[in-house]
């Protein structure tokens, strides 16, 4: 067995270096967070890192990763983007995306430039200027990329163009944001993966390294050297990690399809609601909604409805025309998918990873039905 040590955010980089070299396994903590009271003192010898998932749409899980898996991910990533280089760290290091930047930096023998505090486009540009190499990289979530492409300061776009690759993952990248980034000359690489796969392992729909992807009964499954050892929860591990014909697969919570060798992620398996007897994918509704100008960061969640059972609800920081939105969604997805209302908030609740906190948003939507929050329109 190997000792498991909770590590404060400021110590993560050095503690990770030691863990990859065979020292204590680590659990990176969020800034200011206390170690979990139920954290075990030891983990299996192969485990170097334990990462707690964000719990954005379900209960948090503790994912156990080996040094081999993390380094395989870094190697595959470097090969996919054209080589090693220096990284700008703009994501929290208690999530796998931030850890990956540290691992890639260690593998490249370079120290990353760290963007501290709240992400702002001008601060991103200032941090980018500290990178003293030609081959420069960063990893962002869609919200961060949206702030860059909408920046009015031309120097922000100039610095963003200097990156050999900007990896964007963590959630679906709205098509308008991607289109705007590409038109501005940014080298954007969309990534798909999770803590269970050592982070992104599918770039622009294509598996990297020795990663394999398949779709079984609509559910995306992943195999390869980037796979985690599993979870500290053994029952959950048996449910999500399976062996088929001698190969180990991780059964994701996502649904999708493979077309012409590229993976298309269609949303989470658990985000399908039944509205008036018809199945509706909230992810599909959200994709349509985010295609409307001004709604690139909108979120679609489910709300209970006395007549239809459940209905989609759009949550946004920008006002929108409900009638026009319903018509657009109906044309693309059918009438059952039309959002019932729009709830406008001053700011979307966010997780430290930069993802929308969908559980918190759902709670606010439930409150809005009772008058505690302000729906901007009602169907």
Predicted local distance difference test score (pLDDT) of residue 145: 95
pLDDT at 59 over 80: no
Backbone angles phi, psi at 299, to 5 degrees: -125, 140
Instruction: Say if residue 181 is in the same domain as residue 124.
Output: yes
53 band by pLDDT with thresholds 50, 70 and 90: confident
Q: Is residue 19 situated within a structural domain?
A: yes
145 and 202 within one domain: yes
Residue 326 placed within a domain: yes
Contact 28/91 with Cβ under 8 angstroms?
Answer: no
**Band of pLDDT at residue 276, cut at 50, 70 and 90:** confident
- In the numeric block, which tokens belong to residue 318? 């920008």
CA distances from 163 to 129, 198, 272 (A): 11, 23, 37
In the chain, which residue ranges form alpha helices assigned H by DSSP?
12-20, 67-81, 96-108, 121-128, 142-149, 154-161, 175-183, 234-240, 282-290, 322-333, 358-369
In a shared domain, residues 20 and 110: yes
Write out pLDDT tens, residues 81-121: 988 899 999 999 999 999 999 999 999 999 999 998 889 99
Predicted confidence band of residue 374 (pLDDT cuts 50, 70, 90): very low
Residue 271 lies in a domain: no
Task: Please check whether residues 253 and 287 belong to one and the same domain.
Answer: no
Output the domain CATH number for residue 103.
3.40.50.12780
pLDDT (tens digit, 9 = 90+) per residue, 311-358?
Answer: 999 999 999 999 999 999 999 999 999 999 999 999 999 876 677 888
How many domains would you assign to the chain? 2
Which residues, at least 6 apart from 103, have a Cβ–Cβ distance to it below 8 Å? 16, 20, 70, 71, 73, 74
Q: What pLDDT does residue 101 have?
A: 97
The band of 12, judged by pLDDT with boundaries at 50, 70 and 90, is very high
Pick the residue with more confidence: 198 or 270? 198
| Residue 269 belongs to some domain of the structure | no
The pLDDT value given to residue 56: 46
Q: Go through 194-219 and write b for each residue having 16 or more CB atoms within 10 A of its CB, e for each that does not.
A: bbbbbbbbbbebebbbebebebeeee
Q: What's the chain's Rg over C-alpha atoms?
A: 21
CATH number for the domain spanning 287: value is 3.30.300.30
Q: In the prediction, which pLDDT does 115 show?
A: 95
* 54 — pLDDT class (breaks 50, 70, 90): low
- For the entire predicted model, the pTM comes to 0.81
280 and 164 share one domain: no
- pLDDT for position 368: 76
What integer best gives the mean pLDDT of the chain?
A: 91
CA-nearest of 166, 18, 26, 119 to 354 is 119
Q: Are residues 40 and 178 in the same domain?
A: yes
Q: pLDDT tens, 138-173?
A: 999 998 999 999 999 999 999 999 999 999 998 888
Are residues 143 and 354 in contact, defined by beta-carbon separation less than 8 angstroms?
Answer: yes
Q: Are residues 244 and 284 in the same domain?
A: no
User: Which structural domain, as residue segments, surrounds residue 318?
Assistant: 276-378
Strands of the sheet containing 47-52, edge to edge, are 42-43, 2-7, 25-28, 47-52, 62-66, 230-231
């Amino acid at each position: 067995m190997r000792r498991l040590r909770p590590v404060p955010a400021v110590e993560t980089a050095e503690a990770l270096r030691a863990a990859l070299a065979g020292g204590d396994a680590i659990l990176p903590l969020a800034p200011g967070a206390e170690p979990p009271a139920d954290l075990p003192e030891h983990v299996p010898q192969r485990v170097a890192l334990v990462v707690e998932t964000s719990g954005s749409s379900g209960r948090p899980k503790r994912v156990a990763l080996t040094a081999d898996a993390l380094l395989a991910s870094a190697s595959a990533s470097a090969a996919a983007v054209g080589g090693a280089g220096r990284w700008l760290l703009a994501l929290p290091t208690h999530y796998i995306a931030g850890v990956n930047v540290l691992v890639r930096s260690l593998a490249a023998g370079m120290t990353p430039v760290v963007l501290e505090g709240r992400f702002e486009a001008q601060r991103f540009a200032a941090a980018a200027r500290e990178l003293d190499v030609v081959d420069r990289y960063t990893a962002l979530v869609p919200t961060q990329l949206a702030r860059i492409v909408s920046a009015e300061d031309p120097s922000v776009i100039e610095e963003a163009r200097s990156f050999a690759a900007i990896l964007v993952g963590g959630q679906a990248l709205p098509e308008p944001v991607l289109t705007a980034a590409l038109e501005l000359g940014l080298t954007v690489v969309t990534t798909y993966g999770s803590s269970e796969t050592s982070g992104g392992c599918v770039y622009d729909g294509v598996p990297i390294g020795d990663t394999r992807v398949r779709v079984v009964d609509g559910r995306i499954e992943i195999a390869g050297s980037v796979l985690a050892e599993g979870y500290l929860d053994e029952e959950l591990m048996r449910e999500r990690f399976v062996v088929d014909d001698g190969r180990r697969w991780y059964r994701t919570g996502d649904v999708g399809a493979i077309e012409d060798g590229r993976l298309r992620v269609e949303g989470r398996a658990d985000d399908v609601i039944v509205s008036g007897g018809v199945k509706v994918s909230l992810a599909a509704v959200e994709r349509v909604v985010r295609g409307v100008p001004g709604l690139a960061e909108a979120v679609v969640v489910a709300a209970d409805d006395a007549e239809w059972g459940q209905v989609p609800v759009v949550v946004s920081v920008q006002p929108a025309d409900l009638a026009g939105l319903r018509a657009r969604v109906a044309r693309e997805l059918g009438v059952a998918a039309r959002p019932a209302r729009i709830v406008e908030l001053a700011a979307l609740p966010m997780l430290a990873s930069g993802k929308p906190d969908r559980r918190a948003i759902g709670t606010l939507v439930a409150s809005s039905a009772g008058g505690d929050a302000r729906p901007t329109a009602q169907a």
